[in-house]
Amino acid sequence: MENLSASSRTEAFPVGLRVLVVDDDPTWLKILEKMLRKCSYEVTTCGLARFALEMLRERKDHFDIVISDVNMPDMDGFKLLEHVGLEMDLPVIMMSIDGETSRVMKGVQHGACDYLLKPVRMKELKNIWQHVYRKKMQEVKEIEGHDINEDIQIRNEFEDFEDRHVLNGTDMNSMRKRKDVDNKEHADQEFTDPATVKKARVVWSVDLHQKFVNAVNQIGFDKVGPKKILDLMNVPGLTRENVASHLQKYRLYLSRLQKQNEGRNFGGNMQSDFSSKDVTANFDLHSSTQMQQNGASSKYIYTNQKIPAQVIVPDGCADDFKNVVSLQVMDSKQALLSDVSDSQKVNSVSQLGVLLSFKEMMPIVDMKPLEPAISRHQSWNGGIPVMQFMQYPKHNHKRCSLLEDYSCLPKPDQEHQVFADHVHTPPSVISVTCNTEDDMCSVSELKPVHTNQKSSHIKPISPVPFMTNPVSVQVDSGLSNTQDYSGLSNTQDFGATCGKDGSTNQKDHYNDQTCSGWIPPPLQLSLTNETDLVSLPEQLQLCSLQGIGCFENVGLNNMEIFQYNDSTSAIEVHGNWYDSLEFNCDYLYDSADYPIVDECLFA
């Protein structure tokens, strides 16, 4: 059926071009939809970037092109752009009212095939099909490239024969002829059957990307080259061109993260832009956490993908931090499947907020010389970063998670009960440490975080199903911080008390609350040291978070770890996550609630 519709679509190309429009502004969505329909395109609109990404992942071949706004509250447009480029390899057009050269350049750097200025006119949309066409042509070339590779291999084989030259000459000629014929065939096919071209397009699945990253790390980021990676990956059918283009995107992604981390102070605000780069991952959960000034506060971050991990972050106690530390700012380098939110996303009133991306490739820690960016990441403003795992559980439509739908916020009591059901895990310690003195973070033991909270809850962490190079993290379930939970469970209250110095209020509020459904089922993560980082059990399951949603049952590729660097005692970290599910509800939040949530984001 796909072929059929593809053929019919192609025949009338560009009629029926399948466009996905992503914009948080409903008015623009309506207008763009109308404009694109008038161009005879098939339009799908989406108000949330997360939802868009989910849609793209679920229906990979359902869209031809994506048009996205740059400034969206739930996710940076550039981030979406990267994800789409890396995972789906679809052409993406950016839009914005901001037409500054730097922004446009950024768009192009991130792989946008075009950058439109708002207000967008219909005539600009009429020609977007050219980007789809161009990409198809590039794919054809990749196929040609594959043929060339084959030719070279065959040629080499023949060189071993006695009549090398003769044979080579003959074979080369015949191979060339064959190649030409193939090219022609492909060129024809491109127009008649896009499905063929589509087959040739490599889909960078979680597995594949993991292999890619493994290879990159093995070779050494500095010495990496498409051929070397291809050899190491040992994936039949994969061409050097496939790897080369993927590598390019990967580099872009890493450099972007690096820049963001460099330019960031810990006081940076955290935007609700946590994403997991995973073919099947969704990052939908946004939670707001807050670290209290007194006592240890723990922060639960859930990685969207399959791994619900909780990380306890000790709060503002410098000593505690020293012991706790952690860090790995690998994130950007290992951009893989779990995208890391940039440190800037971490909202911290004080110095906290370094994002760690616990990519599958934890071994990157070993790649110190290869990751200069990492050292930069490490340069926190004093203090020792605390590691946090972030999880984005898939939104559970049945439940109302924190920010998903304010009208159905979970009641604290219910949450508590639910939570109690899950709180029976043996204490474990999150042991990931980062030696801030060094440029490279090495993972060592993380001391348990202690909490002074009235109610202490175990923080179970569900196993992280890393595909390869699993990371094991042990979580000290004896630590808990209800504050975070309660904050998460009741955004309204949280929001109500949110303020510049709302910490006290919040604290009180939190203490009154019990853990909300934030706490995921017990997770067995044991992160001991660098080497162990690689040995995460593969059979980790994703458990659903109460009130959060269910995690996808996919291997964990990356975990994002938020690192909080607390150099002072008065630290308050504000993390704010939006539940991606928001898109299920009207993407228009209640005016009363939305601002509150937003506040928390940036407070």
Partner 1 sequence: MEHSSLQRQVAYGKKSLVDQGYLDEQFYELEELEDEASPNFVEEVVTLFFCDSSRLVANIEQALEKCPQDFRRLGSLAHQLKDSTTSIGALRVKNECTRFREYCDEENLQGCQGSFQKVKREHAILKQKLEAYFQLLRQTGPAARATCSGD
Contact set with partner 1 (CB under 8 A) = 24-28, 30-31, 34-35, 38, 69, 71, 73, 96-98, 118-119, 121-122, 269, 498-500, 588-589, 591-592, 594-596, 598-599, 601-603
- What stretches of 12-121 show up as alpha helix (H) in DSSP? 26-38, 49-58, 77-83, 101-109
Euclidean distance between CA atoms 202 and 86, whole angstroms: 11
CB of 493 to partner 1, least distance (A): 14
For partner 1, the closer CB: 474 or 576 = 576
CB of 599 to partner 1, least distance (A): 5
CB of 600 to partner 1, least distance (A): 9
For partner 1, the closer CB: 124 or 193 = 124
CB of 118 to partner 1, least distance (A): 5
For partner 1, the closer CB: 255 or 505 = 505
CB of 34 to partner 1, least distance (A): 5
CA 214 to chain centre: 18
Tokens of 238: 């994969």
CB of 603 to partner 1, least distance (A): 6
For partner 1, the closer CB: 498 or 581 = 498
The answer to whether the beta carbons of residues 383 and 309 sit under 8 Å apart is: no
For partner 1, the closer CB: 51 or 594 = 594
CB of 41 to partner 1, least distance (A): 14
CB of 269 to partner 1, least distance (A): 6
CA 514 to chain centre: 30
The answer to whether the beta carbons of residues 499 and 469 sit under 8 Å apart is: no
CB of 85 to partner 1, least distance (A): 24
For partner 1, the closer CB: 220 or 263 = 263
For partner 1, the closer CB: 24 or 320 = 24
Q: Peptide bond preceding 14: is omega within 30 degrees of 0, i.e. cis?
A: yes
Judged by DSSP in three states, 52 sits in: helix
For partner 1, the closer CB: 122 or 152 = 122
- Crossing angle between the packed helical segments 482-489 and 503-512, to the nearest 10 degrees: 90
Helix (H) or strand (E) holding 225: none
Euclidean distance between CA atoms 175 and 183, whole angstroms: 12
For partner 1, the closer CB: 309 or 596 = 596
Measured CA to CA in angstroms, residue 27 lies from 13, 32, 588 at distances of 28, 9, 12
For partner 1, the closer CB: 26 or 169 = 26
Helix (H) or strand (E) holding 573: strand 573-575
Which residues touch 519 (CB under 8 Å, ≥6 apart)? 300, 310, 419, 422, 423, 457, 458, 459, 460, 485, 545, 546
Length, in residues, of the chain: 603
CB of 127 to partner 1, least distance (A): 17
List, as one string, the DSSP characters of 135-189. HHHHHHHHHHHHHHHHHHHHHHHHHTSTTHHHHHHHHHHHHHHHHHHHHHHHHHH
